Every structure is written in structure tokens, then in C-alpha cells.
Amino acid sequence: LKRIEETESKLNAYITVFEEKARKKAEILDEELTRLNEDEVPEFFGIPISIKDNINVEGVRMTCASKMLENFVSPYDATVVKRLRERGAIFVGKNNLDEFAMGSSTETSYFGPTKNPWDLERVPGGSSGGSAAAVSARSAIASLGSDTGGSIRQPAAFCGVVGLKPTYGRVSRYGLTAFASSLDQIGPITKNVEDATYLLNLISGQDSKDATSAKVPVPNFLEALNGEVKGLKAGLPKEYFIEGVDPEVKEAVLSAVKKLESLGVEIVEVSLPNTKYAVETYYIIAPAEASSNLGRFDGVRYTYRAKDYKDLIDMYKKTRAEGFGNEVKRRIMIGTYTLSAGYYDAYYLKAQKVRTLIYQGFQKAFEEVDFLITPVTPETAFKIGEKTDDPIKMYLSDIFTIAVNLAGLPAISIPCGFDSKNLPIGLQLIGKAFDEETILKVAHTVE
């Protein structure tokens, strides 16, 4: 809490801080500790953790960084939160994000932008920018974020921390405010790979409250960390090392590749030819799903409602016009358009087909290699305001992370050096579905 107080005026990484509640919980735990034997102390006992403000924590407000939910109080815990609570974690606050997790810079938040701790004039990335900035500035030991097209990995890269997007279905989405349900996944943002692994162990597993959570065994991921990387085969997808990637980013990533090679990892070039369609495909599918998911914010069931209106329809219209920011409106309009009769086949259905091709491209690469290595982003953290007037430019900052969500694969972003402006650079490792173990093991070896 002291660290939050020291850093918040500069960073704005939190929307809500639980001063009182966190202190009280710590006192209760202190007391409880006197009654516990050492081997009875749960894993997360007393560990202060922050949560992205699109994940429900019972009894405190969840805003999704939107005016629409400014005063909404969560009636229940998300499954991931419940599990942490049961193991004694202390929630210190809710982290800032792009409104409804739509963005790559945390600039679309109704509560103002978060700053990058490495350079306060730059963005921390997004949409989990508050989580990444908090962990980077040590105002949280760890945070849970969400990743729909890169929202855990890209801010982790920009802030020099670790971000893990698990396989789609690995972690329950119950209690995560849906943005694009077929892409969203909750995951940890941490200081190092070991912390991410502890969190993954805890949050993984089937949940009867989320029909898309997968019934697959959950290994003890910590055991993977000590494994050998020698003999593994890594693929460098040539489409991820193209022109347009900052040479300093490329160099840092390739030097991590060299290190792996010296440890006995075999490196081969692979091709993911449909990667070039990933951003376009995502910006059909994600807005389509978002336009449907956000239909619930109608002024009836959730907190914000316009003050002056003539009738019910007018109330809906004014509430949504006043409650949502521009980026959210843009997504709703695109999604409604691509789902409408006459355009559905040309856009939505076509995008679903391309999505399958992207998935198959990864499958083919994984016949040959155990995992893939790429940069997380083509460049390091950009200046605040630099891309706000140009949505396409903003969308392109997820060019290397988005295909992973379309294919449902696990991927981790770890720091791999700095550029000449002293800004962190991120390395992405992409694994086969439900094989988080390999990427964690490799990440732990090179971090």
C-alpha cells in the first residue's frame, strides 16, 4: 500500500485501491498465522495481488474503465479470484485498462491513461496496462490480466515484466467481463516466470461455471521449470521478422535465440503464411462478438442510465451514447455491421474461415517444432497520444500477438533486453495447445 501511494500520482495504474479492506485482511491473516503450523500455510497467504478491473471481485466496484460501470459493485467473485481468496491472497486494488479491454495503450480508459514506469511520457501498452505498470513499478507483486488479442503480452513487453496467456479453455472465464468470448483468456502478469507458474497452477482447470473451460488434466506446472531445454526444436516464423520490425527489437530477440541454441535447442525457420491476415480477421471477429456481448449495457440492468429521455428507446440510445467511449462505439458499430444480414457471409463467415486457416498454419508448424519464438511487438513502448488519432496504427501494435488468440494457443512474453532509449523489449514464446509446460520451461531458462 505504501508503494502504491508512492507511485500512483505518477502512474495511474489503479482505478480502485482497497486501503481499508487490504489492511483488515492482513490483520486477520496475521492473527490466523499464529494458529497455523508452517505446513498448513496456504500458498498465497498474505500475498498482495492486484486484479484488472474487468474481473469481478465480490463487494467492490468493477468499472471496466467505463463510465457505463462507474459505480457498479460486483455481486460475486470470478472463479480465478475465488481461488486466490481461498488460498489467502490479499487483493490490493483493481488495475486500470482500456475501456472494456479494447485497446493497446490504456489510453481509452474513462479514468485517464496509465503511464509507463520506464518513461512517463510513454504508454504501458494495453489493455492490461495498469496491471503491467503496477507489477513493473512493484506496486503489486503480481496481477491478473486478460488477453483477447495481446492484452497481457503486449503491456508485459512494454513494461519489462512477464505476461502469460494460457491456452483457450485452460482458465475459467467466469467473472471476466466478456469482450470477445471466443478469444478472451485470463492470465498472470508477474515479475518472473516462476511467479507466473504459481498463478497458472492455481487458476487452471475446468470450471462448471464456464462451458468453454476445458476438461483436460492440469499438471503441476512448477515441475516443468526444472526441465531440460536441450533437444527441443524451436521455430522462427519468417513472417515475424519482417521489415518494419525495429532492428533493436529484432537483435534482442535473436540474441535470446542464440542463447537457446547454445543450450542445445535446435532452431529452424518455419512459415506461417496466413499470419498476414490475422489483424484483419481479428477486427471482424472481435468486434462482432463485442457488439453482441455489450448489448446488455442498456441502462436497465447496469449502473449508468441517462438522465433525460422521452421513452424506453430514447433511454437506451442516450445511455449508450453517453456511457460508452469512442473506441467501444467504433467496435459496436463495426460488429453490428459485419453481423447484419447481407454482410454476414462476406465478412463474419469469411473471417471464421480465415481463422481456421490461421489455426491450421500453426498446426502444420507444430508438426515440425515444439514451440515458436517471435518478438511480442514490432517496436517498444510508444509515446502517449502518438496513435490515438489513427485506429489502424493502434491495431497494428498487436500484429504479433493476435494470431495466437485466433488459434487459441498459449504464449508467454518475457523481457529480453532494452533498446537504446532504455525501454524494455519482449520475447514471445508460442506453444502447442495445452502445452504451457514447454514455453514456461524455455522462458525460465532464458529470462
Active site residues: 52, 127, 151
Least distance (Å) between residue 151 CB and ligand GLN: 3
Q: Is 151 in the site for ligand GLN (CB under 6 A)?
A: yes
List the interface residues with ligand GLN, window 173-202 (CB under 6 A): 179
The interface region with ligand GLN, picked from 60-68, 141-149, 186-194, 263-271 by CB under 6 A, is 141-149
Q: Is 148 in the site for ligand GLN (CB under 6 A)?
A: yes
**Positive/negative CA dihedral, 19, 20, 25, 30:** positive
The interface region with ligand GLN, picked from 34-42, 149-157, 206-214, 363-371 by CB under 6 A, is 149-157
Chosen residue from 113, 124, 149, 299 binding ligand GLN by CB under 6 A: 149
Q: Is 213 in the site for ligand GLN (CB under 6 A)?
A: no
Please provide the size of the chain in residues. Answer: 447
Cis peptide upstream of residue 127 (ω within 30 degrees of 0)? yes
Q: Is 150 in the site for ligand GLN (CB under 6 A)?
A: yes
The interface region with ligand GLN, picked from 75-83, 116-124, 145-153, 248-256 by CB under 6 A, is 145-153
Q: What are residue 372's phi and psi, to 5 degrees?
A: -120, 150
When the beta carbons of 150 and 237 are compared against ligand GLN, the nearer one is 150
Question: What is the arrangement of strands in the sheet containing 14-17, beginning at the earlier edge strand?
Answer: 14-17, 90-95, 48-52, 142-147, 185-190, 162-165, 411-418, 424-431, 371-375, 233-237, 266-270
Least distance (Å) between residue 175 CB and ligand GLN: 16
Q: Report whether 191 contacts 135 (CB < 8 A).
A: yes
When the beta carbons of 319 and 338 are compared against ligand GLN, the nearer one is 338
Least distance (Å) between residue 286 CB and ligand GLN: 5
List the interface residues with ligand GLN, window 36-55 (CB under 6 A): none
Q: How would you class 299 by CB atoms within 10 Å of its CB: exposed for 0-12, middle for 13-18, buried for 19 or more? A: buried
Using alpha carbons, select from 308, 424, 437, 315 the residue that is nearest to residue 371. Answer: 437
Going by their DSSP bridges, the two strands 162-165 and 185-190 should be labelled as antiparallel
Chosen residue from 17, 62, 101, 315 binding ligand GLN by CB under 6 A: 101
- Segment holding 394, helix H or strand E: helix 391-396
Q: Is 293 in the site for ligand GLN (CB under 6 A)?
A: no
Residue 392 DSSP SS3? helix
* Residue number of the CB atom closest to ligand GLN: 151
When the beta carbons of 103 and 335 are compared against ligand GLN, the nearer one is 103
Q: Which amino acid is at 348?
A: Y
Least distance (Å) between residue 137 CB and ligand GLN: 21
Chosen residue from 99, 107, 147, 195 binding ligand GLN by CB under 6 A: 147
Chosen residue from 102, 140, 142, 429 binding ligand GLN by CB under 6 A: 102
Q: How far is CA 194 from CA 164, 199, 421, 442, 445, in A?
A: 11, 9, 28, 12, 11
Number of neighbouring beta carbons within 10 Å of residue 73: 13
Q: Is 103 in the site for ligand GLN (CB under 6 A)?
A: yes
Q: Is 274 in the site for ligand GLN (CB under 6 A)?
A: no
Least distance (Å) between residue 399 CB and ligand GLN: 10
The interface region with ligand GLN, picked from 98-106, 230-238, 253-261, 417-425 by CB under 6 A, is 98-106
Query: Could you give the angle at the alpha carbon of 413 between the alpha carbons of 212 and 286, nearest 5°?
Result: 45
C-alpha cell at 111: 479514468
DSSP lists the bridge partners of residue 268 as 235
Least distance (Å) between residue 271 CB and ligand GLN: 25
Number of neighbouring beta carbons within 10 Å of residue 342: 7
When the beta carbons of 202 and 286 are compared against ligand GLN, the nearer one is 286
**Rounded Cα distance, 107 and 403, in Å:** 23
Q: What is the contact mask toward ligand GLN in residues 387 to 426, using x (rule: CB under 6 A)?
A: -----------x----------------------------
- Count interface residues toward ligand GLN (CB under 6 A): 13
CA 434 to chain centroid: 17
- The contact set with ligand GLN (CB under 6 A) reads 101-104, 127, 147-151, 179, 286, 398
